[in-house]
A and B are shown apart, each in its own frame.
Chain A
Amino acid sequence: MIVIKAGKILTMRDPMVMEGKYIIVEDGIITDISSAKPTMGEFVDASKMVVLPSFIDPATALGLAEEGAGFDYYDADERTNPSLPQLRSIDAFYPKDQGIKDAARGGVSYFVSSPGDSAVFSGLEGVFSVRGNTADEMIRKFPFALKLNMNYSARIRWRSEGKFPSTKMGILALIREKFEKAKSYSKKKEKEKDLEMESILKVLNREIPLKVAVNTRDEIEKALELKRDYNIDIILQEAEDSFMLADQIKKEDVPIIVGPYFMAGRMYHQRHHYAKYAFDLYEKGILFSLTTNHPQIPVNYLYHQSVLLVKIGIPEIDAIKTITINPAAILGMDSETGTVEKGKKANLVFLSDEIYTLKSEIVGHLVEGEWVWKNF
């Protein structure tokens, strides 16, 4: 049992702020948040600290693109076939990637590891924890989603290879062809198991969502059309132009993963890739979360990056939600993580001072009741 005396808790639920409470952790779970100090257990004095839920990054290549190893160890993108939904991120996951240690120090407890952005159907994503020694010990949800790339980077890849699909038309034709094929495959009575079709069927059967990378307004409209035509669940990613369609996206209840924003060097399709456009999503009440898209920017800067949302006018607590409860909800894991709450996993970040100040550092990180970083 761990007993944490917390100066201030930012719960990310009602009541938002709790002061002077004890967080009781048993077997990796928050079993109580109490005013009275229990008489037993390992005591942690965080009375001068701010405690908040661990952060969650819903789009990374952690474990697949090893930090500091060079290009020979980049296993995040199988660029040889436009339809590879059967790829599984867990199969190339290197648990000792320095980036995962950085994530732990940076307060990120869970992250999605995604197989690439060149293939149109690029494979199955998984949710991993920073805690554990092997891929199997670290996996928390597999598959979480099927990644679909309807964006610029996919079609430019196949265009440069002189292969189909090299246009938006081609990409949509490929997607619809595979969907229709999967539908007839599912109706076949006797069949050999087809791994490609099995992955796509998971989406059509609504077992998992389709995570769709899009950039421009028309691409977003096409993604929404696929959702309606096939009655599937989708999550939008990148989606720079989503602010133009905020009403419709809200109406259709589609979550969005935005960012990363510590970036420049925008290409034409990314010309609206600025944090300020996320304000419209916030204002409409769309469920959205922030990502580093590690290794695009380092995963440990997820929290530091979220201050940009404060700078564009989003309240501080709501900015923190985009890296805690919002991604937990998008991952379908909000019943177990994303808030500081009785019954949830003890995934807690310890900040040395108030959020979004120069002096505040991540001095401790508890994941599932175990310290993955402690410097106090």
Chain B
Amino acid sequence: MEELLIIKGGKIFTMEGSLLTGEYIVIKNGKIVDITGSMEIPKGAQVIDAEGKYVYPGFIDIHTHTGLWEEGVNIEGSDGNEMVDPVTPHVRAVDGINFHDDGFKEAISSGLTTLNIMPGSGNVIGGQGVATKSTGDILLNPSGIKMALGENPKRVYSAQKKTPSTRLGNAFIMRKALQDTLNYIQKKKKDKHHFDFKLEPLVGLFEGKYPAKIHSHREDDILTALRIMKEYGIRFTVEHSTEGHLIADILAKEGIPCALGPVLTTRVKQELKFRTPETARIYEEKGVLFAFTTDFPVIPHYGIFYSAQMAVRQGLSTDMALKAMTINSAKILGLDDRIGSIKKGKDADIVITDREVLDPKFKVLFTVVNGKVVYEHKSREDLYI
């Protein structure tokens, strides 16, 4: 028998431009099959009464390291950066993730149903990211190629007395890898048996299959990314975009999506000096497509809601604050046909809360992923806070 789940009542933030109240969300085989004002509930259907509650599409974090740096584990569970070579496009996040890590439980209990998990930023080219449900159901692999500019790679490799030890070196290493790939593509045209395991994942960038996802905080690093990617005709996103507000006009004009965050940390690195909670508002004003991120485990997954609240206090609209954790995030991942809003035909990823998620006191009551209730709040013990 097909399993039927019905969410009844509540204030539904569809993220499709409408706010519904008292509707029924009908879920079958993991998909939303109907949203209707009235219905007779079939016998045997599982019903969640959301009357007086708030209903959202599952929240999305487009930049995390969940399961790569495990919770409550020391070096044994630290698999985020392959820091022995600045160019490692052939390593895959999915091969290093411990899907049984508590980080996923924290994500699910916090209402985050999709995570884009990527290697860290120790390398100029860090490897392949994966977009996955927090339950471990993989959506897209690879979701992009993680790259990094700025302090991190130069700090890692200057300590090893290797290139790159400056921003000059970062750009050179990035450009060289792309040029090598172009040369490799030419060679492959002449000799179809020619194969380079390490460069092969970068071919997808030139074919437009997935974007480069470039860690850059400072304005000049973001613009270096833009310069190099334009040169090679590669689609990319800016990850963190700490100083993005200084060049929001350019980001909007060039149509470059930005991951914003994490904002709940101090300016530990010099390149974070000009961070401000106003960046999100400026992105909204200038029309930059952006989504919030926690960079988990830099901050907890639930920190995405506090990041959004801080931005709202600085003038970001509440509507955009929600978009930047749902539909914008889905668009940036290229997964808006499946996730990011409550819409007939989309994956049944739904979060039900006791208050609006922009209320600092809200709690997640239910998390539904692919039509299955994967979290229900019963007591304090269930919380990962």
Residues of chain A at the chain B interface (Cβ within 8 Å) = 67-70, 98-99, 261-268, 270-271, 274-276, 279, 294-298, 301, 304, 307-308, 310-313, 356-358, 361
A354 CA / B73 CA spacing, docked (Å): 40
Given A264-B106, A267-B73, A312-B380: A297 in contact with B270 (beta carbons within 8 A): no
Q: Which residues of A contact B359 (CB under 8 A)?
A: 357-358
Query: Given the complex of chains A and B, what is the CA–CA distance between A161 and B172 in angstroms?
Result: 36
State whether A98 and B267 are in contact (beta carbons under 8 Å apart), knowing that A264-B297, A308-B385, A311-B361 are contacts in the complex.
Answer: yes
A-B Cβ contacts below 8 A, count:
94
Report A-chain residues with C-beta under 8 Å of the C-beta of B267.
67-68, 98
How many angstroms from the CA of A358 to the CA of B361 in the assembled complex?
9
Task: Please state if B266 and A264 are interface contacts (CB–CB under 8 Å).
Answer: no
- Within the complex, the shortest CB–CB distance from A367 to chain B, in Å, comes to 21
* Besides the known contacts A262-B264, A311-B383, 15 further A-B residue pairs in the complex with CB atoms under 8 A apart: A67-B267, A67-B273, A68-B273, A262-B306, A264-B103, A264-B299, A265-B69, A267-B72, A268-B73, A271-B72, A274-B385, A276-B380, A308-B385, A311-B363, A358-B309
By the criterion CB–CB under 8 Å, are A266 and B273 in contact? Answer: no
Report how far A295 CA is from B268 CA in the complex, Å.
7
Quick check: is B250 within 8 A (CB to CB) of the other chain? Answer: no
- Quick check: B383 and A295 within 8 Å, CB to CB? no
Q: Are B72 and A297 in contact (CB under 8 A)?
A: no
Q: Which of A69, A70, A312 meets B385, CB within 8 Å? A: A312
Which B residues form the contact surface with A (CB < 8 A)? 69, 71-74, 103, 106, 264-270, 272-274, 294, 296-301, 303, 306, 309-310, 312-313, 358-361, 363, 380-381, 383-385
Known pairs A267-B73, A297-B265; A358 contacts B300 (CB<8 A): no
CB pair B385–A67 under 8 Å, yes or no, is no
Give which listed residue, A268, A274, A361, contacts B383 with CB less than 8 A. A274
CA distance A311 to B385 in the complex (A): 8
CB distance A356 to B361 under 8 Å?
Answer: yes
| Closest residue on chain A to residue B155 by CB atoms | A71
A279 touches B106 (CB 8 A): no
In the complex, what residues of B have CB within 8 A of residue A310's CB? Answer: 361
Assembled-state Cα–Cα distance A70/B270 (Å): 4
B300 and A262 contacting across the interface, CB-CB below 8 Å: yes
A270: chain B residues at CB < 8 Å are: 72
Overall SS of chain B's interface:
loop
Do B306 and A358 touch across chains, with their CB atoms under 8 A apart? no
* Residues on the A chain within 8 Å of B297, using CB: 264-266
Are B72 and A266 interface neighbours, CB within 8 A? yes
CA distance A271 to B273 in the complex (A): 31
Q: B264–A298 contact, CB under 8 A?
A: yes
Contact between B313 and A268, CB atoms less than 8 A apart: no
- From A275, which residue of chain B is reached at the shortest CB distance? B385
Question: Contact check: which of B69, B268, B360, B385 meets A261 at CB < 8 Å?
Answer: B385
Residue numbers in A under 8 Å from B300 (CB-CB): 262-264
Q: Which of A68, A298, A301, A310 has the most CB of B within 10 A?
A: A68
Nearest opposing residue in chain A for B264, CB measure: A262
Give the distance to chain A from B293, nearest Cβ to Cβ, in Å: 13
Assembly CA distance A98 to B276 (angstroms): 13
Assembled-state Cα–Cα distance A297/B299 (Å)? 9
**In the complex, what distance in Å separates the CA atom of A359 from the CA atom of B222?**
33
CA distance A310 to B383 in the complex (A): 13
B301 CB contacts on chain A under 8 angstroms: 264
Of all A-B residue pairs in the complex, the 9 with the closest CB atoms, nearest first, are A68-B273, A265-B297, A70-B270, A271-B72, A264-B297, A295-B266, A68-B267, A264-B300, A307-B360
Complex contact A67–B266 (CB within 8 A): yes
CA distance A357 to B265 in the complex (A): 21
Interface centre among B264, B269, B384 (most CB of A within 10 A): B264
30 pairs across A/B with beta carbons < 8 Å? Answer: A67-B266, A68-B272, A69-B273, A70-B269, A262-B264, A262-B306, A263-B299, A264-B296, A264-B297, A265-B69, A266-B72, A267-B72, A270-B72, A271-B72, A274-B383, A274-B385, A276-B381, A276-B385, A279-B380, A295-B266, A298-B264, A304-B306, A311-B361, A312-B380, A312-B383, A313-B380, A357-B359, A358-B312, A358-B358, A358-B360
Minimum CB–CB distance for A63 against chain B, Å = 13
Contact across chains for B360 and A357 when beta carbons are under 8 A apart: yes
Residue of B265, B298, B360, B384 ringed by the most chain A CB atoms within 10 A: B360
A279 to B71, CA, bound (A): 22
Separation of A263 and B270 alpha carbons in the complex (Å): 21
- Chain B residue numbers with a CB within 8 Å of A356 are 360-361
What is the chain B residue whose CB lies nearest that of A260? B264
Residues of chain B lying within 8 A (CB to CB) of residue A297:
264-266
Q: Which residues of A contact B361 (CB under 8 A)?
A: 307, 310-311, 356
Which residue in chain A gives the minimum CB-CB distance to B273? A68
Q: A270-B72, A304-B306 are in contact. Are A298 and B266 (CB under 8 A)?
A: yes
Alpha-carbon separation in the docked complex, A276 to B379 (Å)? 10
- Cα of A262 to Cα of B272 in the assembled complex, Å: 18
Identity of the chain B residue whose Cβ is nearest the Cβ of A355 in the assembled complex: B360
Closest CB in chain A relative to B200 CB, distance in Å: 32
Cα A69 to Cα B274 in complex, Å, equals 11
CB distance from A225 to the nearest CB of B (A): 27
- Shortest C-beta distance, B300 to chain A (Å), equals 4
Set B71, B270, B272: member contacting A265, Cβ < 8 A: B71
Chain B contacts for A263, CB-based, 8 A: 299-300
Distance of B73 from chain A, by nearest CB (Å): 6
B74, B274, B296, B303 pick with most chain A CB within 10 angstroms:
B74
How far apart sit A9 and B106, CA to CA, in the bound complex (Å)? 36
**A361 and B299 form a contact (CB under 8 A):** no
Question: Which residues of A have CB within 8 Å of B310?
Answer: 304
A-chain residues with CB within 8 Å of residue B274 when the two chains form the complex:
68
Contacts of B268 on A, CB cut-off 8 Å? 295
Q: Are A68 and B270 in contact (CB under 8 A)?
A: yes
By a CB distance below 8 angstroms, the chain B residues around A99 are 266
| B304 CB, min distance to chain A CBs, angstroms | 12
**What B residues does A261 contact at CB under 8 A?**
385
A301 CB contact (under 8 Å) in B103, B106, B264, B298: B264
CB-based nearest B residue for A308: B385
Given contacts A98-B267, A276-B385, contact A264 B360 (CB under 8 A): no
What separation, in Å, do the CA atoms of A272 and B206 have in the docked complex? Answer: 46
Residue of B nearest to A262 (CB): B264
Inter-chain CA distance A272–B361, complex, in Å, is: 22
